[in-house]
């Protein structure tokens, strides 16, 4: 626990403050992403009614890596994230252009089974949102949707999911108690376990630690490092240190101008490069805290 804390703190020191380390060279293989792409976003635009919230976003998200999306409030980070698992479909009067390709299949297309997309792309929300059920029932909720009962090893799936989410040891004796009695950090890891139980390929995290205290945040961040071996993770965060600590790649978004307020991708690349040697002046200003 403490060694982890120390090591992550030293990591942080290496990266921040970025301005002092502008001379650090970016890693060599960095810009070449196309090898093992899980998701490819091509010229993606998003409209709420007449308002263009996202314009011409293109990015390639590598498999088994953590990709962070950062940027000031209202620049469309969450909108982009929620487009990947079609959660924006819940909002009336939306329109999407372009493509978001998951494993070679465009999930934006009209004939796509939204329910299947959401199974393959799990999501963890800003505030822990466990269902008012028992811990076990929370994790079992997803598998049960697909008809998995005790006969098909539901217990084992729940065990595995809780194990993966590093929650098993804390809850193994109270699986049938209410999830609402857990602490905020435990609830968030339960939500991660719940998402893992349906065996997704990608996990979207929308500011997963912003409602948590520093210790719980650290646990979530450690967890992400182990999860990326199995899953592809995309995280939206307001916390630049967090993005620097956990992510392998970072995308910086901003609104194009104050009138239209359309979110655009300013710079996307390996995290070390974005934080130590950004190519764009706006990126540099943002990551060094000069605006935003």
Partner 1 sequence: MSTGTDLWLGATTKQLIQSKAGYRRRKLSNVVMLAITGLFMLLALVPLFWIIGYVVYKGGQYINLDFFIHLPRPLGMTGGGVLNAIEGTLVLTILASLFAVPPGVLAAYYVVYKPNSLLGILVRFGTDVLSGVPSIVIGLFCYALIVKNQGHYSALAGGIALAILMLPTIIRTTEEMIKLVPHSLREGSLALGSPEWKTAISVTLPAASQGIITGILLGIARASGETAPLLFTALGNENFEVGKIIQAGVANHQNVFAILGRIIGQPVDSLPLTLWKYAQQPYPERINQSWAAALVLMILVLSINILTRVWVQVRANRMQGK
The stretch near partner 1 (CB under 8 A) out of 17-25, 111-119, 214-222, 263-271 is: 111-119
Count the residues of the shown chain that bind partner 1, applying the rule CB under 8 A.
31
Q: How many angstroms separate the CA atoms of 148 and 52, rounded?
A: 41
From the list 49-57, 110-118, 156-164, 225-233, the region that binds partner 1 by CB under 8 A is 110-118
Look up tokens 């620049």; give the residue.
75
Residue 262 in 3-state DSSP? coil
Rounded Cα–Cα distance for residues 184 and 180 (Å):
9
Binding residue (CB under 8 A) for partner 1 from 21, 42, 133, 163: 133
Tell me which of 181, 215, 241, 285 binds partner 1, using CB under 8 A: 181
CB 213 within 8 A of CB 141: no
Q: How many CA atoms lie within 13 A of 76 on its CB side?
A: 28
Shortest distance (Å) from residue 181 CB to partner 1: 3
Q: Which residue has the tokens 């909108």?
A: 79
Supply the minimum distance, in Å, between the C-beta of residue 69 and partner 1: 17
| 129 lies in the binding site for partner 1 (CB under 8 A) | yes
Residue 201 Cα to chain centre, angstroms: 12
- Considering only residues 159 through 178, tell me which ones interact with partner 1, judged by CB under 8 A: 177-178
Phi/psi of residue 288, nearest 5 degrees: -95, 5
Q: Is 187 among the residues that bind partner 1 (CB under 8 A)?
A: no
Report the run of H or E that residue 161 belongs to, with start and end: helix 154-164
Residue number with CB closer to partner 1 (179 or 274): 179
Cβ at position 46, least distance to partner 1 in Å:
18
Largest pairwise CA distance in the chain: 59
Q: Please provide the size of the chain in residues.
A: 292
CA atoms of 224 and 81, how far apart (whole Å) = 17
Residue number with CB closer to partner 1 (192 or 243)? 192
Q: Whose Cβ is closer to partner 1: residue 21's or residue 144's? A: 144
The secondary structure of 36-68 as a DSSP string is GEEEEEEEEEEEETTEEEEEEEEEEEETTSEEE
Rounded to whole angstroms, what are the CA distances from 221 to 47, 164, 187, 189, 233? 32, 13, 15, 11, 12
Question: Which is closer to partner 1, CB of 5 or CB of 181?
Answer: 181
- What is the smallest separation between the CB atom of 35 and partner 1, expressed in angstroms? 29
Query: Based on CB atoms, which residue is closest to partner 1, 89 or 97?
Result: 89
Q: Does 132 bind partner 1 (CB under 8 A)?
A: yes
> Minimal distance in Å, beta carbon 17 to partner 1?
35
Mark residues 76-105: x for contact with partner 1 by CB under 8 A, - for none. Answer: ---------x-x--x-x-------------
- CA-CA-CA-CA torsion sign (101, 102, 105, 110): negative
| Residues 115, 107 contacting (CB under 8 angstroms) | no
Shortest Å distance, C-beta 219 to partner 1: 20
Q: Candidates 165, 171, 179, 236: give the one binding partner 1 (CB under 8 A).
A: 179
Binding site for partner 1 (CB under 8 A): 85, 87, 90, 92, 115-119, 122-123, 125, 127, 129-133, 141-142, 145, 177-182, 191, 194-195, 198
């Amino acid at each position: 626990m403490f060694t982890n804390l120390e090591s992550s703190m030293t990591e942080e020191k290496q990266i921040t403050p970025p301005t002092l380390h502008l001379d650090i060279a970016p890693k060599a293989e960095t810009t070449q992403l196309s090898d093992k792409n899980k998701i490819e976003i091509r010229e993606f635009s998003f409209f709420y009614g007449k308002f263009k919230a996202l314009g011409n976003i293109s990015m390639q998200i590598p498999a088994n890596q953590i990709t962070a999306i950062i940027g000031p409030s209202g620049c469309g980070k969450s909108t982009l994230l929620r487009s990947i698992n079609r959660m924006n479909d819940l909002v009336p009067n939306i329109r999407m252009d372009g493509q978001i390709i998951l494993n070679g299949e465009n999930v934006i297309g009209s004939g796509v089974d939204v329910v299947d997309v959401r199974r393959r792309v799990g999501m963890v929300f800003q505030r822990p949102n466990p269902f008012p059920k028992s811990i076990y029932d929370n994790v079992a909720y997803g598998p049960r949707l697909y008809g998995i009962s005790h006969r098909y090893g539901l217990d084992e799936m729940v065990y595995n999911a809780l194990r993966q989410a590093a929650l098993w040891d804390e809850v193994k004796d109270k699986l049938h108690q209410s999830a609402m009695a857990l602490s905020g950090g435990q609830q968030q890891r339960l939500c991660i376990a719940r998402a893992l139980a349906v065996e997704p390929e990608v996990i979207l995290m929308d500011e997963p630690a912003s409602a948590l205290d520093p210790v719980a945040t650290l646990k979530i961040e450690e967890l992400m490092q182990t999860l990326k071996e199995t899953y592809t993770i995309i995280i939206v965060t307001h916390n630049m240190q967090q993005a620097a600590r956990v992510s392998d790649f970072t995308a910086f978004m901003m609104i194009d101008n104050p009138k239209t307020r359309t979110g655009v991708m300013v710079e996307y690349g390996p995290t070390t490069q974005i934080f130590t040697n950004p190519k764009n002046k706006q990126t540099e200003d943002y990551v060094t805290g000069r605006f935003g």
